[in-house]
Amino acid sequence: MAAKLREYRRTMSSARKFDPVSLKEEVVRAESLRKGNMFVCEANDLIPANGEILEGTATVNESAITGESAPVIREAAGRFANCRTRSSSPSPREPT
């Protein structure tokens, strides 16, 4: 049980950092993300940082932050807070 909890905690605090030059992703600690970094989120991912959607759209559950029970649709150039995404395709995001 403890091993599963440690794995869960490690997974929840990670991010898939995206390098636009090499087009590669790297799993990093969410705390290491800085303004100007890009990261990728897919459906049901926890969004590891506040940021801005650079490409695509996402339906985002912001209820833990706003109290609003209905998911919110966010599009490119839309800002979001760290929460859970329901996007149907991977989309790069940038921390703010």
Q: Provide the residue-wise pLDDT of the chain in tens; the chain has 96 residues.
A: 777 766 666 666 788 898 989 999 999 988 888 888 998 888 888 888 888 888 888 888 887 778 878 888 888 777 666 555 554 455 566 666
- Claim: this prediction has a pTM higher than 0.85: no
Domains of the chain with CATH codes: 2-95 (2.70.150.10)
DSSP string, 3-69: HHHHHHHHHHTEEEEEETTTTEEEEEEGGG--TT-EEEE-TTPBP-S-EEE-SSEEEEE-HHHH---
